[in-house]
């Protein structure tokens, strides 16, 4: 599309009212672009984008990506999809539809507009990995019929569609495989480990460790991740991904619980509970490719990131006490 102001782009973000989408909206507006934030508000909230409504370059569009969309934009970031297990398992059929039909619609839109399209894929495409850490070449170990499959297989199929549109229609695609990311505006009740532990610690409630807590995850702070998104989008047409974006610092879930208790000064005890089905035992990104191709690596240490996330949830404490009946 021929723009009036050359460097200013009109950028569509699907899932723009969610945790990551709202931070991406902030960053792109700061860079001087126009942002169309599309969301059906399934897990995202108006509160995440409240501060943007008066912004002259910001527009909110309530829409479900599983339906076609005819608008004019210069770039698309496709983030729409519930990301936490309790949310994506709430309506698993809709989760797969969101990933698959959503990808088809956004790829169809990008094809008509001849514009770049970014896909928020996930480390879940590696499933319960038998290769550690996970490089992009690893094909994964995913159960196709389990309770996580709606998310994992939906995202895998979306990747397939992205690469077929690239090969068949010469579309410029950018596929990022995102590893666990945390920060302010995570949903307080989405059951993800960082938000769960912080909320439990602030409310002095038991910290729920699933299994024995020896499983590992690598946690990336959202500022670092958003920088990776933008760098990937700015690459030339030969860079398609998939490219891992995440923090290689690996912690056991027990270590995370101890860190959160210490940093919040909480009196919470640890409560061990059953490990959910198909819970991956370990996960850590190999980010060699991101370093080489994007010159990107995370800069924010877990303590700094946790401090900012704890501060965010502390502000919400009066409300959280009501919601959690404390």
Binding footprint of ligand UDP on the chain (CB under 6 A): 68-70, 84-85, 104-105, 108-109, 111-112, 180, 191-193, 196, 208-210, 215, 217, 253, 276, 279
Q: What is the nearest approach in angstroms of ligand UDP to the Cβ of residue 165?
A: 7
Report in angstroms the alpha-carbon separations of 16 from 23, 24, 184: 8, 8, 15
Please, which residue, 28 or 201, has the CB nearer to ligand UDP? 201
Alpha helices, DSSP H, located in 211-301: 222-233, 253-264, 288-289
User: Position of tokens 């008509």?
Assistant: 112
Site string for ligand NAD, 45-64 (x = CB under 6 A): -------------------x
List 12, 18, 218, 224, residue binding ligand NAD (CB under 6 A): 18
Give yes or no for a contact between 37 and 52, defined as CB atoms under 8 angstroms apart. yes
Q: What is the nearest approach in angstroms of ligand UDP to the Cβ of residue 207?
A: 8
Please, which residue, 154 or 213, has the CB nearer to ligand NAD? 154
Q: Active-site positions?
A: 151
Burial 300-324 (b: 16+ CB within 10 A, else e): bebeebbeebbebbeeeeeebeeee
Give yes or no for a contact between 64 and 40, defined as CB atoms under 8 angstroms apart. yes
Helix (H, G, I), strand (E, B) or coil at 160: helix
Query: Phi and psi dihedrals of 43, rounded to 5?
Result: -115, -15
The dihedral formed by the CA atoms of 220, 225, 228 and 233, expressed in degrees to the nearest 10: 140
44, interface contact from ligand NAD, ligand UDP, none, CB < 5-8 Å by kind: ligand NAD
Q: What is the nearest approach in angstroms of ligand UDP to the Cβ of residue 104?
A: 5
Nearest to 215 by CA among 297, 303, 132, 301: 132
d(CA 311, CA 204): 16
Check binding of 184 to ligand NAD (CB under 6 A): no
Please, which residue, 151 or 266, has the CB nearer to ligand NAD? 151
215, interface contact from ligand NAD, ligand UDP, none, CB < 5-8 Å by kind: ligand UDP
Residue 187: CB atoms within 10 A of its CB come to 19
Check binding of 241 to ligand NAD (CB under 6 A): no
Q: What is the nearest approach in angstroms of ligand UDP to the Cβ of residue 213?
A: 6
Site size with ligand NAD, rule: CB under 6 A: 29
d(CA 92, CA 151): 8
Structure tokens at 191: 């059951």
193, interface contact from ligand UDP, ligand NAD, none, CB < 5-8 Å by kind: ligand UDP
Helix (H, G, I), strand (E, B) or coil at 273: strand
Please, which residue, 68 or 135, has the CB nearer to ligand UDP? 68
Please, which residue, 109 or 175, has the CB nearer to ligand UDP? 109
User: Residue with the closest Cβ to ligand UDP?
Assistant: 108
Q: What is the nearest approach in angstroms of ligand UDP to the Cβ of residue 148?
A: 8
List 15, 133, 184, 298, residue binding ligand NAD (CB under 6 A): 15
SS percent in the chain: helix, strand, coil, step 5: 40, 20, 40
Structure tokens at 303: 């303590």
Please, which residue, 165 or 179, has the CB nearer to ligand NAD? 179
Check binding of 40 to ligand NAD (CB under 6 A): yes
Site string for ligand NAD, 61-80 (x = CB under 6 A): ---xxx------------xx
Q: Which residues bind ligand NAD (CB under 6 A)?
A: 14-15, 17-21, 39-44, 64-66, 79-83, 98, 102, 120, 122, 178, 180-181, 187
């Amino acid at each position: 599309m021929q723009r009036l102001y050359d460097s200013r782009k009109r950028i569509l973000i699907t899932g723009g009212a969610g945790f990551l989408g709202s931070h991406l909206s902030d960053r792109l507006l700061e860079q001087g672009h126009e942002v169309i934030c599309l969301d059906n508000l399934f897990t995202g909230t108006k509160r995440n984008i409240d501060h943007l409504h008066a912004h002259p370059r910001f527009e909110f569009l309530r829409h479900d990506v599983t339906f076609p969309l005819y608008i004019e934009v210069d770039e698309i970031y496709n983030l729409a999809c519930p990301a936490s297990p309790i949310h994506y398992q709430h309506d698993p059929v809709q989760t797969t539809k969101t990933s698959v039909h959503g990808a088809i619609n956004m790829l169809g839109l990008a094809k008509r507009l001849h514009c770049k399209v970014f896909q928020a894929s996930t480390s879940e495409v590696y499933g319960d990995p038998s290769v550690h850490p996970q490089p992009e070449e690893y094909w994964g170990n995913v159960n196709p019929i389990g309770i996580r499959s709606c998310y994992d297989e939906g995202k895998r199929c979306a990747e397939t569609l992205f690469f077929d549109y690239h090969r068949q229609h010469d579309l410029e695609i950018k596929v990022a495989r995102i590893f666990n990311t945390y920060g302010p505006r995570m949903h307080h009740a989405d059951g993800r480990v960082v938000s769960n532990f912080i909320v439990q610690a602030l409310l002095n409630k038991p910290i729920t460790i699933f299994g024995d807590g020896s499983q590992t995850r690598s946690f990336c702070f959202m500022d670092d991740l958003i920088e990776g998104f933008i760098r990937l989008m700015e690459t030339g047409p030969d860079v398609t991904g998939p490219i891992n974006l995440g923090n290689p610092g690996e912690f056991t879930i027990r270590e995370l619980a101890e860190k959160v208790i210490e940093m919040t000064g909480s009196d919470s005890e640890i409560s061990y509970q059953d490990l959910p089905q198909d819970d991956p035992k370990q996960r850590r990104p190999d980010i060699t490719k991101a370093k080489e191709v994007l010159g990107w690596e995370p800069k924010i240490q877990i303590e700094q990131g946790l401090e900012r996330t704890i501060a965010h949830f502390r502000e919400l404490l009066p409300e959280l006490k009501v919601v959690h009946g404390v």
